[in-house]
Structure 1
Amino acid sequence: MTKNYRTKQKTMRWSIAALLLLLSPLSLLAQAKLISGKVRDASNNEFLPSVSVTVKGSSRGSIADASGNYKIEASASETLVFSFIGYETQEVLVGSRTNIDVALNVGTGKELNEVVVVGYGTQKKRDITGSVVSVSEATLKEVPAPNILNTLKGRAAGVSIVSNGSTPGSQASIRIRGNRSLTTGNGDGLDGPLVVVDGIPYGGLNDINPDDISNIEILKDASATAIFGSRGAGGVILITTKRGKVGKPVLTYDGYHGVTSIMGKYNVMNGEQYAKFKELSAAYNTQGAGTTAYPLTEEERANLAAGVSTDWQDLLYKQGFNTSHQLGLQGGVENTQYGMGIGYFNETGIMPNQNFDRMNIRATLDQKIGKRVKVGLNTINTMTRRNDPAGGGIPTELVRLSPLVPAYNADGSVNLNPKKGTIEAQAVSPLTLISRGDDILSNERSIRTFNSLYAEVNILDGLKYRFNAGLNFSQVSFNGYGPPNTFVNSGTEQNVSNADVRNTEYWDVNFQHLLYYDKVFAEKHKIGFTALYEVTKNHNLGSSFNVKGVPADYIQTANFSLASGQPTGSGSFGETGLLSYMARLNYTFNSRYTLTATFRRDGSSTLSPGNQYFNYPAIGLSWNIIDEPFMKDLSFLSNLKLRGGWGISGNRNVGAYATLGALSSGYYNFGPTAAGQALAYTVTSLPASNLGWQSTSQSDFGLEIGLFNNRITGSFDVYKQNTKDILLSVNLPQSNGAGSTLKNLGKTQGKGFESTLTFDILRNKGGFNWSADVTYFFNREKITQLTTPSELDNKGNFWFVGQPLTVIYDYNKIGIWQLSDKENGTLGKQTSPVQVPGEIRVEDVDGNGKIDAADRKIIGNFQPKWEGGLTNRFSFKGFDLSIVTYARMGMKVLVPYLSGTSGGGSGFGFLNQGRSNQLVMDYWTETNPTNAFPKPNAGGGVRDFTSTTQYQDGSFIKMRSINLGYTVPTKGLSKIGISSARIYLNATNPFIIYSPLVKAKLAIDPEGNGYGNTIQGGNFNRVISVNLNNPPVRQFTLGVNLKF
């Protein structure tokens, strides 16, 4: 008993001592006093609003109000830092004063000492030789969005982003300086960028909470990306997350609530329009031999007479909502800094039972141990849940369904088969999403943890060793269940339930050993050297199972053994490794001339011995001309810098065992009956023992300027990139039995121009400020070689030497055959196919009077002529307004629903023999001899060339975001513990300024909602597609930013 009592006493004493130790730094902070004052413009003595006032080396900060007043707590020994865009930063020691007034001078632009994150380290902006774009935390917050890609559209020159629809939780795809490969999967594939978080490769961007990000750097040219070797060809995105700072704990809250709605309904035919279209389809059908007419059924006639005109879109689309709550905590003392964050995001879609949830938990710790050692860790944990029973087919069906069919029966129940009585009898109403929504399951859950730690040792003055380690683990599970007779299970066995279970597991580990040496000699010679040894290992595991005939809906995916059908399944496994060495030298002379030389060597386990290693050199040069003596009299110039670079980066995106070949097993009959079956193995892929590295060499030249005390700043880049040894799948002779194999074949080239300009238009004119950012860029891609130097084209994949990677190779539509053509004898001169008025007329390229495959030609491409953005920022007293405009011009987009399949059938668009509804289009009739779209349903052998109508002008200028905010005056906030508060209203995608496609009412939004699929054998998997799936939405948001 006595022993236990003494133990408890000892424990209590240690606890009290530890508590006092933890509180001791706070006791020092308690000596801080309240400092107040005003901030003015030194040139005109006017008050400066929104100036940032921080305590140097801490996380404490404040913002000057509309009258330039500020308040902040600091001790006598601390220093206040005053900073504002366009002005020189000023530091003031507090001392014994409690009132400090400051006058800021206009910035000169000669001190470019801002530190920018580059690969495996940092550099001053003035010393950077590569093409790097920086995106600040403030820029990210101008467009509230669940992922950072949606905030970057039009904001970074050379960066193209395509959304993949409006489904909650959907991801966007990104390209930096265009495509390099001839084949890429949907999404980022071979040409996507590498994402690095706090120095460790991360993966996709969808799991990253935007509120956890401190800043982003985008590396674009090879002189900057070669340091990442085989993973840097598509560019590199470096993300730095928030960490702790010295100072008292600072608590932040950022939250918003938004409402989303479809940007507009598709302009489909109403009951009367559809009836007329269908009757014309039947009438015009008599002009085609051997075709089938589908006039109105008796049921449709009766519904038309009764005034039935169902708008299926109105019945299913609804308002969606999203909510975001983000809490952050930062603080620390001299030797220990900490940061924490917890976030929750929820989004419900515009269709029933669509939702997405994400929870993020982040923690960082940095600890000094003695004078030479520093250690730290960072953990980011994400859990997501996504449900989308609607899938991609329902939005299409809402357009296709006949308006002459009622959605509900007379007793109020859902009309389960809205196509009964029409010629497409096999269908289930999409309204089953409402009537049986609880029974339908399409749930994806993911858990991801990203952990990194480091240890730094200052060995000698200027010499430092750093060890980085990272673990990235994710697990994704999918459970899907479609009850009988519901839209999500409306296939050939729609009366049988269907259940799916899929699981994937992925992890990678990364270890880095880094040695840094930085020294300045004789005040003019600055040397920086970095050496790296890095090891990465990746592991992935997957499985999937499917079964039909689940006996009861409540079972769903719980027990496959109860199903009447036979379960089927598959599995996958792969492990890869990467071994890397790197060295980088930075040399700056007299703060004017900088040389950066990099060499990296990568070795990959995915390639065969002899081809496993590849070298990636790079060199960059820069010249700060502004610092030359002969520039001192050019007072209008505040910055002038030239830079240029060359380097090689690579791509090794092949399967873990692609070089080994593969076998598959199956049972074969060796007799007249099944009793003679025997297990046998066949070759499905041959070993690709000579498979090597795909590499891209790139040269870049840039100019950076600053004019009139940096009232105008800008950067301009021109570049050229050549990619060789492209990874391609080559078909083998059928006698081989293996189908295809991977080879390094082909070459591509890309050239481009990028510009970014910032205008400080009005600076504190009566408290009013106005600045603008403008981006403009374009990229021109072309194929320079296919499988062999002598091969000039590959028509099956639409690849042509000397042409862009994504050309349109098809018949050239020159109009519609008219009645006048029949009268003047033009009609009928072509022998194939049969020509009739109202059908598509195409160019006879070879002039032989016969239209066949030889008359296809390149009629355009899907590459924009240019992209750009304009961001205007205004502020007046406590109000701020940002307006983001985004443009993509001079390109074609794929609009599949405006086309169909040759020869009739159930294809969507005007080629459906009256089977389904469609958009209101300018189609040909005898009284409307248009050249836009052919007549309704000629069908049969005369219905050709319909693919030509799916290529539409995808140019657009759209208002991306409007954000209006108000910063509440600090007076009175301190009484309730709030140091700063801002409320804002935001509109995302509020309206489209210009779009031929929208003007013609053929689309809601021309920006696109994904990449197209293969059309007519062409490789269109990088082509922006405007389809009916996941219709675009606009969002209105109310939010608040608080700091305590």
Structure 2
Amino acid sequence: MKNNYSRLKWVALIILGGILFFLSKAATAATSNTAFFQQQLISGIVSDQNGLSIPGVTITVKNSTRGVVTNLDGEYEITAPANGTLVFSYMGFKTFEVTIDGRSEINIQLEEDIASLGEVKINAGYYNTTERERTGNIAKVSGEEIERQPIINPLEALQGRMAGVEIEQRSGISGNAPTIRIRGQNSLRTGSSNNGNLPLYIIDGVPVNSSPLVGSDLSGGTGIDPLNTLNLSNIESIEVLKDADATAIYGSRGANGVVLISTKTGKSFEQKTQVEARLYSGVGEVSNKIKLLNTPQYLQLRNQAFENDGVVPDQTNAYDLLLWDNDRYTDWQEELLGGTAAITDLNLAVSGGNETTSFRIGGSYHEEGTVFPGDFKYHKVTGGLSLNHKSKDEKLNLNLSMNYGVDNNNLFGSDSYISEALSLPPNAPQLYNDDGSLNWADLTWDNPLSNLQNSSINQVNNLISSLSISYEFLNGLTFKTNAGYTNLYRNQKSITKKESYRPDIRDRREHLSSERINKRKSWIIEPQLTYSVHIGRGNLDALIGMTFQESENDNLRISGEGYVSESLIGNLEAAEAVDVNEYLNIRYKYTALFARLAYNWDQKYFLNLTGRRDGSSRFGPNKRFANFGALGAAWIFSEEPIFRDHISFLSFGKLRGSYGTTGSDQIPDYGYLDAYEATPGPGGLYPTQLTNPNFSWEENKKLEASLQLGFLEDRINLGVSWYRNRSSNQLVGFPLPSTTGFSSIQANLPAMVQNTGWEVEFSSLNISTKDFSWRTSFNFTLPETKLVEFDNISQTSYQNVYRVGYPLSIALLYNYNGIDPETGLYQVQDINGDGNFSYEDRTVIEELGRQYYGGISNNLSYKNFSLQFLWQFVKQNGYKGYFAPPGNVSNQPQNVISGIENGTLQQASQNFTAFNSYFFASTSEHFISDASFLRLKTLGFSYDLTEKILQNWKLDGFRFFLNAQNLITITDYEGINPENPGVETLPSLRTITGGLQINF
């Protein structure tokens, strides 16, 4: 296989070199051709039906990419053939064509178009389509919506805006990777290092490894997302491909959906160079806190525990009562999490060009503090370049895109810091002594600020580059080659000082350091041939291409200890002992042949057929190739005479459906081989992995049906989709008996996961006048993920996690039997009566996770003022926030005292029996609660200066804006973070920012 890939790579490179040589010759011949068309200068003014000039209207020469835009007075000038046709287009107005017919002045009035679905362009990956003509399920968020949000990761901008797309920000730590699921969980592999549910990320046509970079600091739970290094202001749009018709052309890579990110490009307009500057700053704070006991309430609970246990308090078991100040009160959430995170963002971009060449170059700087004490910050610096060129005969096109980002996240290494802010007793000692040193209170506690003595610095450098070259040989026949290269380098340095330990154990500790280095490099080449031709009353589009892709991942983890001086920590040469904890060098090779055939008849009937044959180095020699494909169809029935002539209020109606298969190879590399490691002694080897050359691809069969309706000239739009995805042949580590010496072997399990659901999308233009407009958008998703098949599940360890016929997001729990009237403690039922509590006694099944979710947004504008806001809603169940049993040295929610009094919580106690009762009850239905929430996710207000002021200041645009994120969260959940129930993580920050944008 290795030799085959090498041959393919060299053949591809030779072909690409020949193509480039030929295209350079063709371009030279094309640009020297003087017999194009006789050109002339045309000028004019574009206005609306009220006679008001319209700035920003796009005027292009038909059947070309040459174009200009109108200035602030609606004026334009363009060079075009004397017998050519001009096309005038502007969002909100109907596209208008006019023949030049030798005229030098052409003035145009555009007619308002409430909502033209045909003008909404959609990136479908290997081809483009429109909202009107698409046969697949593709959701889109514009760059303007993304730019308005004060966030770091572009995925956060999708929360509440897309049906079928779940985005969970499980931690409010800056730079933490959000969790994304497109139409549910397809794979049983959910681990952070082997997650089979990650979608495919494509940036400007280049695939990017979507796996988060795991770490050992506060970001360790979710890791760092590689998309963090993107400049949000440089994103043109994000499209999410969901169904088989949209994703099958990506084959195995699109099994879990595809996220397409397009960056901004320059414009080939004959006008001056444009500069865009954007600046905002603001603050963030914790969006949610728990109401905890104050000092008198806490002391009452502690004393009650000693009384119930019949134990006399002493300085060992009751240091908080006898040694600490009982009149002291500290709100530890405010003390440890109550800071404000300062936010600053600067962005500058320059764009311009002429009729054949355009460019855009820009950069940004983002800085964000934390809510913790100390100087911990997140920095991001980005740079981007887009260069586009076409020959004068418009047959040759070249597009180059480069995006480079560096982010630096300075945190501290502690997984317990958040939980300490919730559990520290309110009368705990002060943090510092009078001399400014940390207060250890006679060794009666672990000072929480000791965590801040240890640092963890993450730096990520990420380059994403792409090159696209196309040449039209014949009318409608185009050869195109896409090439891309990515290079990500991550270095995490963690330092643990002896001073972070309590003085009584400090002498037994050493200064420690660890360093984690990740390198991800990849290249891709995709030669393609496209053909478009009119046949009868329709149009046929054909595409065929190949993919050659290779990636290399290096992972290195080194630790050092025994530094003689604090200043030397991290310098491995100064360490007494250095250990290489992990070193991996992994190569992944992938090749594919893909094709698409699309036909539309009379702009009413659409058929789209896609297919792909994939080859992956992650499978054995006999299983490396697999075939995937899909069929999509659509019927715009509103174009039929019976609807067009007799149902006037229906302006648009489309039925759409698709069926197809995609696959997945998201498993560890080299899993089909035997693996060995050297024994500690000399000259020996021992096996670490069993061979299985026969496991093969997962298969995901996707079915969808959809109805789209538009009413009252598309002022009201409604879309309803039903989907069913079935993922079978599950690739997992098959558990083995311990007698084999191995815990698992890579294999296909006879299990099938089914995702079904309903998606509703609604939009309306409620009011549209000269000065005021109001638009509303709504999306709703009702999902269900179910394990429909799993032969012999009882013979695997999965019997303790899943049940056939139930959702994957279930909890297997004990049956709660209430409070024992004699002991006052929780009790759960021993089902089999053997006197022990095990998984055999967990007969209660509770569904966790999201039952439905969505969002509703509104956009209002009055003259130069605009207001936008989005409410996000989630219906879900989850575990209650975890606390120690009441009566221990730990704070509690305020309702714990009333709960004990009314018999819903067990009595205060700190003995082993009480702890045991509490532990078993915490895995019963008694600790499941409603974790639903309604959140004002975004709120934005802006004002644009009037044209008169802009003209006086000689500016193209000047905007003031205020934006807020996570402003209000309404929930009955008792924990700190309803977005990640049952886990003590920092909730998303509430941020308020203000700034300005200048165009000149």
Instruction: Sort the TM-score into its range (normalised by shorter chain).
Output: 0.7 to 0.9
Deviations 1:258-289, CA, capped at 9 Å, x for gaps: 210112433233322222222222222249xx
Kindly indicate whether residue 675 of structure 2 is the aligned counterpart of residue 656 of structure 1. no
Distance 1:36 1:488 in 2: 77
In the alignment, which residue of structure 1 is the partner of 2:396?
Answer: 373
In the alignment, which residue of structure 2 is the partner of 1:690?
Answer: 694
**Contact conserved, 2:800 with 2:839, CA < 8 A, in 1?**
no
User: Which has the larger displacement, 278-287 or 116-125?
Assistant: 278-287
In the alignment, which residue of structure 1 is the partner of 2:922?
Answer: 946
In the alignment, which residue of structure 2 is the partner of 1:143?
Answer: 149
Counting only pairs closer than 5 Å after superposition, residues 198-347 of structure 1 correspond to structure 2 as 198-204=204-210, 205-247=227-269, 248=271, 249-286=273-310, 297=318, 300-301=321-322, 303-305=324-326, 307-317=327-337, 318-347=339-368
Deviations 1:967-1004, CA, capped at 9 Å, x for gaps: 111212233331112111111111113x111xxxx224
- Closer, same or farther: CA 108–276 of 1 in aligned 2, 3 Å: closer
Counting only pairs closer than 5 Å after superposition, residues 13-92 of structure 1 correspond to structure 2 as 39-40=48-49, 53-56=57-60, 71-75=73-77, 81=88, 83-85=90-92, 87-90=93-96
Deviations 1:909-951, CA, capped at 9 Å, x for gaps: 226x62333333425777x133145544353255442333543
Distance 2:264 2:365 in 1: 17
In the alignment, which residue of structure 2 is the partner of 1:429?
Answer: 448
In the alignment, which residue of structure 1 is the partner of 2:550?
Answer: 537
Kindly indicate whether residue 969 of structure 2 is the aligned counterpart of residue 1034 of structure 1. no
User: Which has the larger displacement, 628-637 or 839-848?
Assistant: 839-848
In the alignment, which residue of structure 2 is the partner of 1:887?
Answer: 873
Counting only pairs closer than 5 Å after superposition, residues 149-228 of structure 1 correspond to structure 2 as 149-186=155-192, 189-204=195-210, 205-228=227-250
**Contact conserved, 2:66 with 2:356, CA < 8 A, in 1?**
no
- Closer, same or farther: CA 112–103 of 1 in aligned 2, 3 Å: closer
Identity of aligned residues (%): 23
Deviations 1:30-71, CA, capped at 9 Å, x for gaps: x998x878645xxxx6x99998534546786579xxxxxx52
Distance 1:733 1:234 in 2: 32
Q: Which residue among 797, 801, 805 is the counterpart of 1:802? A: 805
- Closer, same or farther: CA 801–50 of 1 in aligned 2, 3 Å: farther
Report the residue type matching 2:428 in the other structure: V
Q: Which residue among 607, 625, 628 is the counterpart of 2:637? A: 625
Counting only pairs closer than 5 Å after superposition, residues 878-917 of structure 1 correspond to structure 2 as 878-889=864-875, 891-895=876-880, 897-898=882-883, 909-910=884-885, 914-917=888-891
Deviations 1:784-827, CA, capped at 9 Å, x for gaps: 222x3675985654111111112110113353334xxx5xxxxx
- Closer, same or farther: CA 264–945 of 1 in aligned 2, 3 Å: closer
Q: Which residue among 848, 855, 861 is the counterpart of 1:862? A: 848
- Closer, same or farther: CA 175–294 of 1 in aligned 2, 3 Å: farther
In the alignment, which residue of structure 2 is the partner of 1:9?
Answer: none
- Closer, same or farther: CA 92–413 of 1 in aligned 2, 3 Å: farther
Counting only pairs closer than 5 Å after superposition, residues 967-1006 of structure 1 correspond to structure 2 as 967-993=944-970, 995-997=971-973, 1002-1006=974-978
In the alignment, which residue of structure 2 is the partner of 1:963?
Answer: 940
Distance 1:404 1:734 in 2: 49
Normalising by structure 1, report the TM-score. Answer: 0.83
Displacement, 1:229?
0.6
Corresponding residue SS for 1:376: strand
Distance 1:686 1:49 in 2: 73
Q: Which residue among 774, 784, 789 is the counterpart of 1:785? A: 789
In the alignment, which residue of structure 1 is the partner of 2:761?
Answer: 756
Displacement, 1:401?
2.4
Corresponding residue SS for 1:430: helix
Deviations 1:837-888, CA, capped at 9 Å, x for gaps: 2x22435657999976543223311232211100011111111101100001
Report the residue type matching 2:923 in the other structure: S
State the Cα RMSD in Å: 3.2
Kindly indicate whether residue 562 of structure 2 is the aligned counterpart of residue 549 of structure 1. yes
Kindly indicate whether residue 593 of structure 2 is the aligned counterpart of residue 581 of structure 1. yes
Deviations 1:213-237, CA, capped at 9 Å, x for gaps: 1122211001210110111111011
- Closer, same or farther: CA 121–744 of 1 in aligned 2, 3 Å: same
Alignment size in residue pairs: 926
- Closer, same or farther: CA 476–847 of 1 in aligned 2, 3 Å: closer
User: Which has the larger displacement, 128-137 or 611-620?
Assistant: 128-137
- Closer, same or farther: CA 48–851 of 1 in aligned 2, 3 Å: farther
Displacement, 1:609?
1.2
- Closer, same or farther: CA 411–857 of 1 in aligned 2, 3 Å: same
- Closer, same or farther: CA 409–1035 of 1 in aligned 2, 3 Å: closer
Distance 1:285 1:182 in 2: 45
Deviations 1:114-162, CA, capped at 9 Å, x for gaps: 4322131112433321111122222223423222111111101000001
**Contact conserved, 1:785 with 1:791, CA < 8 A, in 2?**
no
**Contact conserved, 2:324 with 2:427, CA < 8 A, in 1?**
yes
**Contact conserved, 1:414 with 1:432, CA < 8 A, in 2?**
no
Normalising by structure 2, report the TM-score. Answer: 0.86
Report the residue type matching 1:327 in the other structure: L
Displacement, 1:292?
11
Distance 2:248 2:969 in 1: 39
In the alignment, which residue of structure 2 is the partner of 1:731?
Answer: 735
Distance 2:503 2:861 in 1: 54
Corresponding residue SS for 2:700: strand
Kindly indicate whether residue 930 of structure 2 is the aligned counterpart of residue 930 of structure 1. no
Distance 2:504 2:132 in 1: 62
Report the residue type matching 1:220 in the other structure: K
In the alignment, which residue of structure 2 is the partner of 1:562?
Answer: 574
Q: Which residue among 570, 578, 584 is the counterpart of 1:572? A: 584
Deviations 1:732-765, CA, capped at 9 Å, x for gaps: 222221221111112111111101000111111x
Report the residue type matching 2:232 in the other structure: P
- Closer, same or farther: CA 790–209 of 1 in aligned 2, 3 Å: closer
- Closer, same or farther: CA 968–36 of 1 in aligned 2, 3 Å: farther
Distance 2:392 2:77 in 1: 25
User: Which has the larger displacement, 165-174 or 856-865?
Assistant: 856-865
- Closer, same or farther: CA 37–614 of 1 in aligned 2, 3 Å: closer
Q: Which residue among 595, 617, 622 is the counterpart of 1:610? A: 622
- Closer, same or farther: CA 226–892 of 1 in aligned 2, 3 Å: same
In the alignment, which residue of structure 2 is the partner of 1:640?
Answer: 653
Counting only pairs closer than 5 Å after superposition, residues 395-544 of structure 1 correspond to structure 2 as 395-408=418-431, 411-418=434-441, 420-421=443-444, 425=445, 427-430=446-449, 433=452, 440-486=454-500, 495-522=509-536, 524-544=537-557
